[in-house]
Structure 1
């Protein structure tokens, strides 16, 4: 009984799982390469460099 379930799930993952993962890959690639993404990526890359507030350290003595 367990072998039949394993084979069924493996067949599903081999066929539809591969199609699902490839679709996700295409969607992420299209999202990254869309027009206007370059400016958003540059802004996101600069976020760590715009630290306007100094770090506050707690003095626990």
Structure 2
């Protein structure tokens, strides 16, 4: 006998079809932000913060 629809199948299908592409898009956006040339000065300043003596 075959199950018609179970909660496990519905949740798994929902996660695979919606959340996976969403998180991939978020990851790509974060990488693009980090590598954008305009943000280089911000990241360089943040990288040198631990080395500063105040």
TM tier relative to shorter chain: 0.7 to 0.9
Structure with more of its chain in helix, by fraction: 2
Aligned residues: 50
Cα RMSD for the two superposed structures: 1.5
Unmatched segments (≥5 aa) in structure 1:
53-61
Rg larger in structure: 1
Unmatched segments (≥5 aa) in structure 2:
none
Larger RCO (CA under 8 A, 6+ residues apart) = 2
TM-score, length-normalised on structure 1? 0.69
Q: Give the alignment of 1:1-61 within 5 angstroms.
A: 4-52=6-54
Mapped partners of 2:6, 2:30: distance in 1? 35
